[in-house]
Amino acid sequence: MTPLLLEPGQLNQQQLRQVLHSPVKLTLADSAYPQIDAACKVVDDIVASKENVYGINTGFGLLANITIDPNRLTALQQHLVLSHAAGTGELLSNNIVRLIMVLKVNALAQGYSGVRQKTIDTLIACINHEIYPCIPSQGSVGASGDLAPLAHMSIALMGLGDVNVNGNIISAKQAFNNAGIETIDLAPKEGLALLNGTQVSTALALSAYFQTEDIFSAAIVAGALSVDAAKASDVPFDKRIQQVRRQTGQAEVAGFFRHLLHNSGIRQSHLGCQRVQDPYSLRCQPQVMGACLDNMRHVATIIDREANAVSDNPIVFSDDNAVLSGGNFHAEPVAMAADNLAICIAEIGSLSERRIALLIDSNLSELPAFLVKDGGLNSGFMMAQVTAAALASENKSLAHPASVDSIPTSANQEDHVSMATYAARRLVSMCHNSATIIAIELLAACQGIDFRAPLTTSPVLTTAHQKIRQQIPNYTEDHYFAPDIECAKQLVTSGEFNHYLPPGAFASLS
């Protein structure tokens, strides 16, 4: 378990990745507690004064005009959490739930939510004991925040609902007893502060963004291998072409290809060939992948802000002794960022699928049909390309923007919503699809490189080729192909190809 000292509002990329991929022992910086206490005092003073303030001593949503008896304020918060724990669908993974919980602590600990130290510390104790609430994946429209999934997280703090501990689903009460953690009775505003917020959609978007980095890197390597396998030209990657276009991502991606293809023996063998131009899937990689890189960097910036944001409502400003009701729970920034990322994921996969189709077509690649000897007896990569095509087309449908959809809720009080949670959640399937497509291309490109022997690719790409061949042999004849594809996909999703790009190739979440 890796130690993590949390300075509220300052989570960086390394820490976010760490939380997503492995358990952490979370410690909140001592400097956070005075601000937490100050905001809590503002709430206590409002309760004592009997002033009507939304979420503290009133109903919620359309019921905000109903004043609640001071003796029932704890019940108010408890009822809110219980009634909102109405999610459905498959449970989110422990990794995602852990990230959600850390993001929630990060928001609450900034001292603008009016919750007690005890509530935050209980959430931290769950993280440190690897007690992960069972959170259904469906039921949020992304405003007012991720209400239903965060309610499922929150009932665990009250000793209700189920949690996942070491892969076993048990009652929250039993898990708390086993760990020696006290359950809590929610104080005024605490239920609302726990439920309001964009932490679920943000965690899902973060996970997808990190996966997209891995997919992008692997696609660059696969694309470079395909250039050599198809005996394509490297002229489209010339620095001068990129300079006059003035697109940053395009110029950088072209630089990646120049680096990967440097000193390729295959390229040297056909410098004087008569082919004038290559198909777009080879020639326009800097333009397409560069656009993806630019947009991924924008997405990273938006998600970084949201990971460190205070996104509940109302917000407590202890310096001014003010509680202001706004709309920071509206997850439109996350929804649009997720939609943008969906386009990138779809395009990366789409371009890769076209290169697979090119490689198996002997008229275009001048390689054996379907990349196999004894064609007819062997079908080679015929069906693997069909699989890639199916996944690429599926991604086209999934890439339809979710943020343009809205459906009124809460008796039209919440009349415009972001759909951010779905926007981010559907990226999981899209990443799987594109990772699989790129895995197939890696196998196809390596097969093409093998057919070019005794000519060899560049020294850099030779190391990538050897890495693949260490686990997946040359396709000599038809065999059970799915395990090969799965093995290559594991290389893609493991980040194995990230180091082929220069450090800092992606936007820094800092």
The one-character DSSP state at 498 is: G
DSSP reduced 3-state for 414: strand
Residue 33 annotated among the catalytic residues of the structure: no
The predicted structure's pLDDT at residue 353 = 98
CB 198 within 8 A of CB 311: yes
Closest CA to 219 of 260, 266, 251: 260
Task: Give me the catalytic one of 54, 112, 209, 500.
Answer: 54
Residues 6 or more apart in contact with residue 28 via CB below 8 angstroms: 6, 8, 105, 109, 120, 121, 124
Percent of the residues in the chain that have a pLDDT greater than 90, as a whole number: 85
Rounded to 10 deg, the angle between the 285-307 and 332-360 helix axes is: 150
CA distance 117 to 11: 20
What's the pLDDT tens digit per position in 165-218?
999 999 999 999 999 999 999 999 999 999 999 999 999 999 999 999 999 999
What's the pLDDT tens digit per position in 47-77?
998 888 887 888 877 777 888 888 888 898 9
The one-character DSSP state at 347 is: H
Angle value at C-alpha 84, between 105 and 160, nearest 5 degrees: 70
What's the pLDDT tens digit per position in 451-504?
999 999 999 999 999 999 999 999 999 999 999 999 999 999 999 999 999 887
The tokens for 508 are 């820094």
The predicted structure's pLDDT at residue 507 = 56
Phi, psi angles (nearest 5°) of residue 290 = -65, -40
Q: Confidence class of residue 510 from pLDDT cuts 50, 70 and 90?
A: very low
What's the pLDDT tens digit per position in 8-44?
999 998 999 999 999 999 999 999 999 999 999 999 9
Angle value at C-alpha 148, between 346 and 97, nearest 5 degrees: 65
Check the CA dihedral 24-30-32-35 and report its sign.
Answer: positive
Q: How far is CA 337 from CA 93, 146, 333, 349, in A?
A: 22, 16, 6, 19
CB 298 within 8 A of CB 340: yes
Percent of the residues in the chain that have a pLDDT greater than 70, as a whole number: 99
Which bin fits 406, alpha (ψ -120 to 50), beta or left (φ > 0)? beta
Report cis status (omega within 30 of 0) of the bond before 314.
yes
Query: DSSP string covering 108-156, please?
Result: HTTS-S---HHHHHHHHHHHHTT-EE--EEE---SSSSSHHHHHHHHHH
CB 222 within 8 A of CB 442: yes
Check the CA dihedral 451-453-458-462 and report its sign.
Answer: positive
Element (H, E) at 38: helix 33-49
CB-based burial, 302-333: b 16+ in 10 Å, e otherwise: bbbebbbbbbbbbbbebeeeebeeeebbbbbb
Residues 6 or more apart in contact with residue 87 via CB below 8 angstroms: 135, 136, 137, 138, 139, 140, 148, 149, 151, 152
Amino acid code (one letter) for 279: P
